[in-house]
Amino acid sequence: MATVCAGTLALMDAGVPMQKPVSGIAMGLIKNPGEDKYAILSDILGDEDHLGDMDFKTTGTKDGLTATQMDIKCDGLSFEILEKALMQAKAGREHILGKMLETISEPRQEMKPQVPRIITFEIPKEFIGAVIGPGGKIIQQMQEDTGSTITIDETDGVGKVQVSAPNKESIDAAIAKIKAIVAIPEVGEVYDGTVRSIMPYGCFVEILPGKDGLLHISELDWKRLETVEETGLREGDKIKVKLLDIDPKTGKYKLSHRCLLPKPEGYVEPQRRPRGERHGRSER
């Protein structure tokens, strides 16, 4: 009875998505020297390799072979023997593929969550140092936090990042941390920020690693606030903010939490007094 190779079984059990189902089979040969009589074997407990004259492995899809390997102990093989071995291997491989397709009719779109995986992508070279950190502190911490292995090399003017992890959760966490470091804030985007410091005029919120913006007291709520403490915010609190503007000269970020809140019914924006207006002074 022909059996599927261990590699194919491992692929099926792990849930690895395949472009086309692949199976393999080992063929053997028993032939006495000087005699025309011979027998071609199909993977019978390894006897075709231990006792036989040929160990011939093939693997492939329903469309044809993708790889072969052969060891022989006899002086050579006739075309007849080779042709018969290939046809017998083809029949065995197609039988195995048929059993595989009964279990799974088409390749999975996604690997199972517990399957180990490796993902590679590129980052701008100017961010390589930020991802690695001083003395490798940042990248080592990311690896410790996520259980992944991260390597970065500069090639052709870009940073080539390779992340390997034992499961989907680990690799997703590692990639998210890297992309957060290399992300460029965009006006109009909403971020889950962290309050880093509180000032009389507002608070500074970290929207991405190493990127803080000012959340002015007037942008905290629709109602007028005298102090930031009225909102109950403290350092380290999480707050959702929207990036309103980036100063073209200083690169500072202007944030708002107010615009993400429902606008009170009948709300009227307070009118600001023009700067040039003066009261209680006579014209000179």
* CA separation for the pair 28, 41 (Å, rounded): 5
Q: Which two tokens stand for residue 112?
A: 């199972």
Answer whether residue 129 is part of any domain: yes
Total domains in the chain come to: 3
On whether both 152 and 203 belong to a single domain, the answer is no
C-beta separation of 164 from 117 below 8 A: yes
Answer whether residue 273 is part of any domain: no
* CA separation for the pair 13, 11 (Å, rounded): 6
Answer whether residue 131 is part of any domain: yes
* Among 103, 125, 158, residue at a domain's last position: 103
**pLDDT, tens digit, for every residue of 91-147?**
888 888 888 888 887 777 788 889 999 999 999 998 999 899 999 999 999 999 999
Decide if pLDDT at 199 tops 80: yes
Decide if pLDDT at 227 tops 70: yes
> What is the H or E stretch that residue 39 is in?
strand 38-42
pLDDT-derived band at 47 (thresholds 50, 70, 90) equals low
Give helix 168-182 / helix 137-146 axis angle, nearest 10°.
150
> Which range marks the domain in which residue 48 is found?
6-103
